[in-house]
Every structure is written in C-alpha cells, then in structure tokens.
Amino acid sequence: MSVGDIIEVDYCVIGGGSAGCVVAARLSEDARNSVLVLEAGPRDWHPFIHIPATCLKLQQDGRFNWLDQTEPQMHADGRSLKISQGRVLGGSGSINGMLHVRLQRADAEGWNTTGWSYEELLPFLTKAEDFEGESAEPRGRGGPQPVADFRVVHPLTRSFVEAAQALGIPHNPDMNGGEREGAALFQQNRRGRFRAQPAQTYLREARARPNLSVLTGARAARILFTGKRASGVVFLRDGRERRVSVRREIIVSAGSLRSPQILQLSGVGDPEHLLQAGIAPLHAATGVGRNLRDHFMTRVGHRVHGIGTINERTRGLSIVKEALAYAMKGTGMLTMGAGAAAVFLRTRPDAPAPDAQLSFAPGSFASAGVLEREPGMTIGGWPSPAASQGTVMLRSPDPHAAPAIDPNYLSAEGDRAATIACVRTIRSLFAQTPLSRWSKGETFPGSAVSTDDEILAFARERGTSGLHFTGTCRMGDDDMSVVDSRLRVRGVRGLRVIDASVMPNTPIGNAHSSVVMVAEKGAAMVLEDAATQ
C-alpha cells in the first residue's frame, strides 16, 4: 500500500521499534483490523544488523541511531553523555547486544500496579519466548522470540563464573528462571547465527497481511484530537506533511525518549512547560517526560596475559578467520553480542532482592564501541533498579529537534552507594584465582583509586549510560502517572502508550525482554477493550 492510499485506519502505531513491532503484529492478527506503523528510521536492511557482534558498530552509526546526547550531568562531572537508541525498523532491538534478561518477581512488586503482578505477567513472558535450552523453571516454547545460550563461551567467561563462586556467589544455571540472584551466563535473542529481533520475529511475517502497512522514514509530528479523543496523526515523510485518520486507537510506541516528546508536541504534558516550548496545552499531564530512569555503568578493566581475548580477534588476519568461521559454520566471535555473563547481587544486607548487576566481557574498550588493541577483560556494574530520576522535555515545537534528555545520573544517594559497592565487588572478583591468574593488572580505574570518594569520582568521570531508559510515561493511578493500568493516557480517549516508558522503573537487569512483554500485554489489552465496545 502506498502512502497516498492510507487515508484512514483502525489503529496507528507510532514507532516501529521492538514494542511497536509486537503491537502491530498482534493487532493485525485479526483481519478486521487495519493497522499502520509509522517508523522514523529506515528498513533493517544492513547486514550488520543481523550479525550479533557488529552491534557495537551500529551503536555509533547515525543511519540507524538517533545519536542523542544528554544534558550536562550535574553529578557526573558536568559531562554530556552519548546515547545509543535505535532509529530503524526494530528500534533498539535491531542494534542492541541481544541479551535476554527476563523480568523478575521483584520488578513487578516494585511497579506495584493493578493487573501487573508477576503471576499476571508470567503468561506474557512465556508467550513471547521460544527457549531452546532446558530449565526447571517456566520458560516459553514456540513463541516468536528465540532465546538461546551462547554458541561460543570464551574461557575467560567461565573463569568469571568460577571467580564468583570462589567469592561465595552461587552459580545460577538459568538467569531467566524463577530467581535471578547469582552468577550466570547470558542468553541471547538469536536464531541460528543471526540476531532475532521483533522486526524479524514478529513483523516480518505479519507484513504480508493486507491489513498491515509499515511506513519507514515517517516521523510523527503530532497527534490530532477531536475534543478529548485522539483521532489522527500528522507525520512527515519525503519532505511532505501527511495525515492519517484513526477510527479506534493511536498507540505511541516510540520509546522512553521519543514517546514523551510526541505527547508534548501534541499538547499533552505539563502546561507550563508546553507554553515555554511554544506548544498550546490541550491536556494537562504533569508526569509526561518525568521519572526518566536508566542504568549507569561503571567499568573496571584488566590487561590479560596467557590467553587471547576478543580485542585482538577484531584486527588483521584474525578478523578474517572469524568471518570465515561465522560464514562457514556459524561459530566464533561474531556470534557474540555485548556481554557474556553476569552476577546479580545485593549490595546491602537489607536489600529484599538483587540491587546491582555486574556484567563481564572477555574484551576491553578504549572508547565507546572501540576495542583496545592489547588483550583485556572488563567487568561493568550498575545499580538496579535505578533510584536517580531525570526528565525528557521539549527544546522547541520542531518535531525534528531532539528533546532535552537529562537522566540526572548519580543524583540519588542509593545509586552512589551501590556504584561504590559494585566497583569493590568487581575488584574482589578480579582478585579470585580463576581470574587473577590471567591478569597483568588493573588498567582502569587503577591503583590510585581506592577510597570511596575516589571510586565515586572515577564513576562520575568515566561512567556511561546502560541504555535502558524507562519511566517517562509511567503507569499508575496517582496524579503523576501518565497512563492507567491498561496503558491508556489518563484523561483522554483513543490514545495509549505501549513501550518501555510505561515501566515505573528499570528492571533488575537488561530491559529488552521486558519491553517485549509490555508490548504483548498491551496489545492484548487493546484487543480486549475493543471486544467490549
């Protein structure tokens, strides 16, 4: 269907990222529903999108990435941090590290929202999964989203798990089972040798349906209202402004940084802020763009001897050998994503659940996305869930202008204390024989950094975004919540938000699996509500 043919649809999904792909696929299963997806970025055409290890390249590529930057961070040395968020069909699911870390009971209890208990979410977690391994815990089989163990486990990764056990941290054979605590190997969203993201696993087959249209290069400019009912969308494509009328619902699935921006551009938000930005307020919703949460990672690196790492496998003849192994057998370094294994632990004796994540990689980074030349290994840690709260606000009424993104990293005392505890635990892990026997010494932060104040100063100077933004259209029933427990924007009709922005906080772990779960549950709610109207 050409863009000129699309005049009116039942459902318009703004954003073709992971959540939008799931929602569109589920809504279009009913042939009576006409569904349109508007995605600002291009198709997921590039080969690097489908090769696991090349995610680091994609996260620096402006063709598939918004390449945002934060506002100067008051509690992080005044730095403006680079942010990688997908601007391509499949969204961040097309460029992320492919790590599958499922929502836990403690996450649902922390969200404390009617209809979102762990027991009520588990069916959607398993519905999405197609788990290839074995587990005694409830895992999904036959769902759209493949979940697999790593094809290649580096010897240093096994040493990391052994070091954790030497430190008294138990081995967890399945981090996505009933409990998260302990040391475990990551699992991937991978089918065979290729990335398995919702653009492929949900949307690719669905696009053959005559009732589903997907427009790439289509940037939503604002939502149109008839009174208090959302009735259409203005979007920009090929340099022209276009409109689509919507009979049933508009679903905003543009992610935690763009969903609040679209609402604000449409006049839904804090009236005082909207007026300052040059937008006429239509509906007062003070919580839009507030409660931004993200993981903040601080890394410790070691130089390695006596064993190879992925650093030197990315250059010269070695990368040629790796490419051949991947092409011929689907094995080798190129099947790996961003991380390899993790420890989930409690940094406080009174913590009711793990409140920090430590992630291991058998490599080390000179800068974002660039591996060092000499052999190295890294462990990064972050407080989880995040306590620091920030904002996403308009800079101008221009839909092309990036919003002002202020995560307010390390503003909460709990995050600062947990960050210090993370670094100290990481150093204890590196001191255990399974890892120390391979180490030539700590390269960063280094021996000059030892006191709590020095560790915190290093985190402020070198810490980075975990890229797990949530919370800016938070669900709930209080005055600051943007959507209700059925993800409907409170106070208006025909408008929902279904993506990471509705989560009240970051999950205890990587966020992508939780985004897919929210989209599965949100789509089911849309269909349930339509059936009763």
To the query of whether residue 468 is one of the catalytic residues in this protein, the response is yes
Give all strands (DSSP E) within 119-260, no chain letters.
129-131, 145-149, 182-185, 187-188, 190-191, 194-195, 212-216, 219-226, 229-237, 240-252
Tokens representing 351?
Answer: 């913590």
Output the CA–CA distances (angstroms, integers) from residue 398 to 91, 222, 395, 401, in the order listed.
22, 10, 8, 5
Evaluate whether 300 touches 427 at the Cβ level (below 8 Å): yes
Q: Which residue has the tokens 């919580």?
A: 287
Q: Round to whole Å and give the CA distance between 522 and 70.
A: 29
DSSP 188-205: E-EETTEE--HIIIIIHH
Q: Round to whole Å and give the CA distance between 358 and 341.
A: 8
Buried b (16+ CB within 10 A) or exposed e, 31-59: eebbbbbbbbbebbebebbbbbbbbbebb
Q: Round to whole Å and give the CA distance between 291 and 505.
A: 8
Q: Which residue has the tokens 């290890």?
A: 53
Fill in the DSSP letter of residue 5. Answer: G
Q: Which residue has the tokens 């959507």?
A: 483
β-sheet bridge partners, residue 365: 371
- Active-site residue, from 100, 302, 468, 512: 468
As a whole number of Å, the end-to-end CA separation of the chain is: 29
Output the CA–CA distances (angstroms, integers) from residue 205 to 28, 143, 202, 215, 521, in the order listed.
11, 14, 7, 16, 20
> Can you state the angle between helices 18-27 and 512-532, rounded to 10 degrees?
30
Q: Round to whole Å and give the CA distance between 294 and 384.
A: 9
Contacts of 205 (CB under 8 A, 6+ apart): 25
Buried b (16+ CB within 10 A) or exposed e, 260-287: bbbbbbbbbbbbebbeebebebbbebeb
Evaluate whether 93 touches 197 at the Cβ level (below 8 Å): yes
Output the CA–CA distances (angstroms, integers) from residue 82 to 59, 60, 289, 342, 474, in the order listed.
10, 10, 19, 24, 24
β-sheet bridge partners, residue 195: 190
C-alpha closest to that of 235 among 226, 225, 223, 227:
223
Cis, peptide link before residue 445, omega less than 30° from 0: yes
Which residues are designated catalytic? 468
